[in-house]
Amino acid sequence: MVGAGLSLAGFLASHWNVKIFIGDAWAAEAFLSVADDIPLMSGLTENTDAATVFDKPAGRIVTAEAGGPVTIAAVRAFYAATLPQLGWLPDGDNRWRRDAEQLRLGYANASGRLTVRFEILPNQ
């Protein structure tokens, strides 16, 4: 269903309060507001004021950010475990590919609070 309209994750997120199970713990309760196919790790809070979406003929361009008292290692482990379940394949350090899109994750740490930046771009 990925790539053919609404993804399974997007459908679930738009209809129910979905939780993703990773190992022995519930790890996500929501998805990004501007990318209903990218889960939001527990412990992160999305900054919806920083979100942008552009739909172009070549594909969507999405930026979002979320922050919280989490570590880069925990964020990397969470997305390494969850993104493949949603069809995203690793494509280098903090990069993922699915269909005609790429996802990049960036990190900034200040005063014990990590900010994670999400960028979805058309494949180049």
**Per-position DSSP letters for 45-104, written without gaps between them:** EE-GGG-EEEEETTEEEEEEEEEES--HHHHHHHHHHHGGGGT-EE-STTEEEETTEEEE
Residue 24: per-residue pLDDT? 45
Between 7 and 71, name the one with better pLDDT: 71
Burial class from Cβ neighbours inside 10 Å (0-12, 13-18, 19+) for residue 121 reads middle
Looking at per-residue pLDDT, the higher value among 1 and 84 belongs to 84
What's residue 112's pLDDT?
Answer: 85
Q: Is the pTM of this model over 0.85?
A: no
In the chain, pLDDT over 70 holds for what percent of residues? 77
The tokens for 74 are 């925990």
- Residue 104's Cα: distance from chain center in Å? 9
> Bigger pLDDT: 13 or 35?
35
Residue 74: the pLDDT is 94
- Cα angle 23, 26, 31 (rounded to 5 degrees) comes to 115
Question: For residues 69 and 3, which has the higher predicted lDDT (pLDDT)?
Answer: 69
Task: State the sign of the Cα–Cα–Cα–Cα dihedral 87, 68, 66, 104.
Answer: negative
